[in-house]
């Protein structure tokens, strides 16, 4: 199996997270432009693994009933992960359950989504700000001075 995807993931983490801070929230700039995409096409992560099957989702909702507000979409995606839509997103892209929304909604975008390779939805006005400049990380790698991110 190729080590290239692992290298790219590791490289990406070095840009956006310093080694000692992998568990803290990344620096995020921007604001919510109320596009609603984060509520209409979300990937749900159970511990460290995105949900891929309806069976996994059923098991998750058994232990965490609050996740029943998310409905699986019927589309297949090339990454193999299920997408979900929140039942409380209105036609105006606003949450109809805003005051009682789950923690994952309150903290969007979360550090976990970036650590496991998720991206911001297309059209989202939030921006992930780098911890280090691309050129700095590349120079560290080329000189063999980089430190490996902890797992």
pLDDT digits (tens, 9 = 90+) for 25-62: 567 788 889 999 889 988 888 877 888 899 999 999 99
pLDDT value, residue 90: 94
Cβ atoms 43, 119 nearer than 8 A:
no
Is cis: bond before 109, omega within 30 of 0? yes
- 96-148 pLDDT, tens digit each: 989 988 887 888 887 666 666 677 888 889 887 777 777 887 788 788 765 55
Percent helix, percent strand, percent coil in the chain, to nearest 5: 40, 15, 50
What stretches of 32-133 show up as alpha helix (H) in DSSP? 37-40, 54-63, 103-106, 111-115
Greater model confidence, 5 or 51: 51
**pLDDT greater than 90 at residue 89:** yes
Please, which pLDDT band fits residue 79 given cuts at 50, 70 and 90? confident
C-alpha–C-alpha distance, residues 29 and 38, integer Å: 16
Token pair recorded at residue 45: 């992560």
pTM (2 decimals)?
Answer: 0.63
User: What are 62's strand-pairing partners?
Assistant: none
Cα dihedral 112, 44, 62, 91, rounded to 10, equals: 130
């Amino acid at each position: 199996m190729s080590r290239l995807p692992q290298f790219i993931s590791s490289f990406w983490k070095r840009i956006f997270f310093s080694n000692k801070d992998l568990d803290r929230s990344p620096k995020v700039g921007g604001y919510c432009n109320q596009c609603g995409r984060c509520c209409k096409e979300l990937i749900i992560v159970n511990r460290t693994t995105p949900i891929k099957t309806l069976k996994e989702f059923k098991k998750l909702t058994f232990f965490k009933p609050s996740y029943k507000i998310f409905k699986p979409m019927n589309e297949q995606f090339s990454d193999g992960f299920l997408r979900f839509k929140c039942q409380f997103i209105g036609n105006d892209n606003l949450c109809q359950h805003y005051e009682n929304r789950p923690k994952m909604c309150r903290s969007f975008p979360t550090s976990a989504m970036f650590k496991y390779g998720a991206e911001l939805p297309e059209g989202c006005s939030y921006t992930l700000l780098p911890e280090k400049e691309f050129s700095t990380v590349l120079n560290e790698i080329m000189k063999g001075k980089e430190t490996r991110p902890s797992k």
